[in-house]
Amino acid sequence: MTISDPIGDMLTRIRNAVAVGHAATSMPSSRMKVALAEIMQAEGYIEGFDVVTEPDKYPTLRVSLRYVGDRRKRRPVIAGIVRVSRPGMRVYSGKAVLPRVLSGMGIAIISTPKGLMTDQRARKLGVGGEVICRIW
Looking at the fold, whether 95 and 126 belong to one and the same domain comes out as: yes
Tell whether 75 and 88 lie within a shared domain. no
What does the pLDDT read at residue 3? 83
Q: What's this model's pTM, rounded to 2 decimal places?
A: 0.93
Does pLDDT of 2 surpass 80? no
Q: The CATH number of the domain where 117 resides is what? A: 3.30.1490.10
Q: Do 4 and 70 lie in a common domain?
A: yes
Structural domain boundaries, residue 17: 1-79
**pLDDT, tens only, 45-85:** 999 999 999 999 999 999 999 999 988 899 999 999 999 99
Residues 44 and 91 in one domain: no
Asked whether residue 34 falls in the same domain as residue 73, the answer is yes
Cβ-contact 63, 49 below 8 angstroms: yes
CATH code: domain of residue 24: 3.30.1370.30
My answer on whether 22 and 73 are in the same domain is yes
Pick the more confident residue, 2 or 111: 111
Q: How many domains does the chain have?
A: 2
